[in-house]
A and B are shown apart, each in its own frame.
Chain A
Amino acid sequence: MLVISAAVRPKQKSNSAKIAKAFVSGFNKPASIMYLSERSSWNKIIKDYQKADQIVFVVPLYVESVPALMLEFLEQLPVHDKPAQMAFILQGGFPEACQSRCTEALVKTLPSHFGCSYGGSFIHGDMFGLAFMDGKAVQSLTKPFFQAGRLFARTGNFHDPAFRKWESPERLNSAQILMMQLISPIQRLFYRILSKKLGRTRPIDDKPLLSEN
């Protein structure tokens, strides 16, 4: 199995890289992880893709779809030499699975362009915080991907309904929406504190391009 992280961030800072690692760890069979952010390795990725019969892309949500980088890579990817399967792990910062349905609709269509079958998608959001975590916190937040890897080792695809219990809820329920609205001021304060810690020097809601008019 070849797992391809489609993140643009360098792997040291990439949530998709952490998720790929957790998935492979749960899979617990021979598998390699490669990173599209390392453009110099694209030829090697293409060679390894031809040797693999299972290809799993870990895809971060970029404006309702896959990142431009992944589309660029796919334009260079040849049709697979032998029967193979492409499956997709879709992850993002929003908590609901519905945020990734449009991405899912696109990735479903991709395998046929490469002579591959579609091995389904596994959708899990709420990953924004992963970027700021390490150690056990990463292990805890990526547990659904570890579990998905373990199950994938048995099923060989994401079509099995058993995967759904590890996915994010489709939508927030009314109680969760109310909670989100109630904690919104606290959340905004948290972002202001976080951004200050990261070295922000201007207001977080600044409008710098407007002032240039």
Chain B
Amino acid sequence: MRKLLINCTDNTDLAADFHTENMNIQECVGCNRCWLQTPGICSIHDDYKRILQAILDSDEIWIAADTAFDFPDYKAKRVIDRLLPLGLMYLKVKDGEMRHVSRYKHPFSLGLMIHGKVNRELTERWLERTCLNFDAKSLGIRYMEEAGC
């Protein structure tokens, strides 16, 4: 089991594989180039490529997130928005809904470590649906405070 922890919080004491505070991670611009023009490769050439590679090399991925509006904040959302190269332009129907087909046959699990407070029901629902898009399994959310982080 290869675990990966991506720390998107301001808490620099958390031992993580990546701490995005010290990295250049820009937001997904929705250009669709990773689907249509440069398949699997994001058009933004920043430090995110290292994260995407590490995700493909891991089975259990945790993203540590600060919060705003009772939801993971923009820094964590930015990391998730950039997962798009893991999908293909191709569509399929899964459980009666349209989905993109995964680019890699790489089953992984994804969880959120929350630094702050979130609307638990909404955040877990969002994580579940996010996982559906990448054929991933949701590990749910954990509060860092409760986990002693």
Contact = CB atoms under 8 A, between A and B. Distances in A.
Interface residues of B, number: 49
Interface string A78-110: 000000000000000011101100100110011
Given A63-B81, A68-B77, A180-B91, A195 B39 contact: yes
B103 interface: yes
Query: What is the interface of chain B mostly: helix, strand, loop, or mixed?
Result: mixed
A7 B29 CA distance: 8
A195 B33 CA distance: 9
B104 A210 contact: yes
B39 A200 contact: yes
B131 to A, nearest CB: 9
A131 B71 CA distance: 30
A144 interface: no
* Highest count of chain B CB atoms <10 Å: which of A68, A188, A213: A68
Interface residues of A, number: 54
Contacts of B41: 208
Contact of A207 (B97, B98, B103, B125): B103
B12 interface: no
B97 A65 contact: no
B31 interface: yes
Interface string B25-36: 001111110011
B53 interface: yes
B126 A65 contact: yes
B144 interface: no
Contacts of A66: 77
A177 B92 CA distance: 10
A194 B36 contact: yes
A112 to B, nearest CB: 10
A68 B28 contact: yes
B149 interface: no
- Which of B53, B104, B126 has the most CB atoms of chain A within a 10 A radius of its CB? B126
B74 interface: yes
B36 A69 contact: no
Nearest to A187: B91
A47 interface: no
Contacts of A68: 27-28, 74-75, 77-78, 81
A64 interface: yes
Interface of A: 7-9, 13, 60, 62-69, 71-72, 74-75, 94-96, 98-99, 102, 105-106, 109-110, 113, 131, 171-172, 177, 180-181, 184, 187-188, 191, 194-195, 198-200, 202-210, 212-213
Top 10 A-B pairs ranked by shortest CB distance?
A: A71-B74, A68-B78, A72-B74, A68-B77, A195-B36, A64-B129, A208-B40, A68-B74, A206-B39, A191-B89
Given A113-B69, A209-B40, 9 more contacts: A13-B31, A62-B28, A106-B71, A191-B89, A198-B36, A204-B35, A204-B39, A204-B88, A204-B90
